[in-house]
Chain A
């Protein structure tokens, strides 16, 4: 049975590619949804997916090998050297809340647009086109 640190050291490149790759793929999928989908709810979902990708990227940058959570719980007061970077996690906490606010506002606008035009397809909502 290998320790986690050994596994990490052995497959370091693979893990790094997996984590960063997932985050970048999420951002790209979200951007694809925002730019190319015609349905407004799908665009909102794309925004949400992009949010998750960026959050994952932040947390991945702050990770330290074999790190623990930056919490000085009883019995772990001396583990400062092992703790991961707390700043990206605090920033992601902010980003998640702002992402929620953006999604909620976008959905409310979509509901209003749907009620007015009876469709959520942006090609058919063309009353402002000239």
Chain B
């Protein structure tokens, strides 16, 4: 009981200090500074993204270009987490005997899922192909694709993703990201350096390597999340 009160007191102290800290930061105030002579890093990104890179979506420019190395690390973290999940939940084939779904879905759900599945895939691909023009990008598009696979996995008992195809797609996408980085290293002398040819603002093919890298990220995240869902849904209770 004493432990509970101590924890409540600690949480209250933390809440008080968080509140008093953020009370000092005015909400909605402009902290970017002068946009023409950028002094803050945000103003610099807002100026350079359309001018130098010709990328409409500044967030994409930050994630893939200015902080591209960080994103490579982020993709690696996701990959490691998925690898860890798979190795923790790994189970030998002969132990898997029971059915995945307790209750079979109705024909309405099955027909609807069949119609929706390709549309969800197309939406996901659209989101990551247009990541540099509209809100969205590789991570969001990959998550949308994974929801399409989730719909199929929870609707059909017999729907299985092909692990070999998934592994190959994921590996090729990951290698493609690193290859794009090495291309910048070899041609321009710095890892993940963007090409000089960046196209026009708001064209589909603009931003140099940025759309290519975001397509790789989209495929990688989509396959990784799909494998996570597949693994989590295919775990069976241990047979006694």
Chain A residues packing against B (C-beta within 8 Å): 8, 12, 15-16, 19-21, 24, 27-28, 31-32, 35-36, 57, 60-61, 63-65, 67, 69-74, 77, 80-81, 83, 85-87, 89-90, 93-94, 96-98, 100-102, 104-105, 107-109, 111-112, 115
Chain B residues packing against A (C-beta within 8 Å): 4, 7, 11, 14-15, 18-19, 22-23, 25-32, 35, 41-42, 45-47, 49-50, 56-59, 62-63, 67, 70-71, 74, 77-78, 80-82, 84-85, 88-89, 133-135, 137, 139, 201-202, 221, 225, 228, 231-232, 235, 237-238
Q: Which residue of B lies closest to A29 (CB)?
A: B11
User: How many A-B contacts are there with CB distance less than 8 Å?
Assistant: 146
A24-B19, A73-B133 given; A61·B58 CB < 8 A: no
- The docked-state distance in angstroms from the alpha carbon of A71 to that of B88 is 41
Q: In the complex, which of the residues B28, B134, B221 contacts A12, with contact meaning CB atoms closer than 8 Å?
A: B28
Chain B residues near A115: list those with CB within 8 A.
Answer: 237-238
Contact sample, A vs B, 30 pairs, CB 8 Å cutoff:
A16-B27, A20-B27, A24-B19, A31-B11, A61-B25, A64-B28, A64-B30, A64-B31, A65-B28, A69-B135, A70-B59, A72-B49, A72-B50, A73-B133, A77-B201, A83-B58, A86-B46, A86-B58, A87-B42, A89-B59, A90-B59, A90-B63, A94-B63, A94-B74, A97-B221, A98-B78, A101-B78, A101-B82, A105-B88, A112-B89
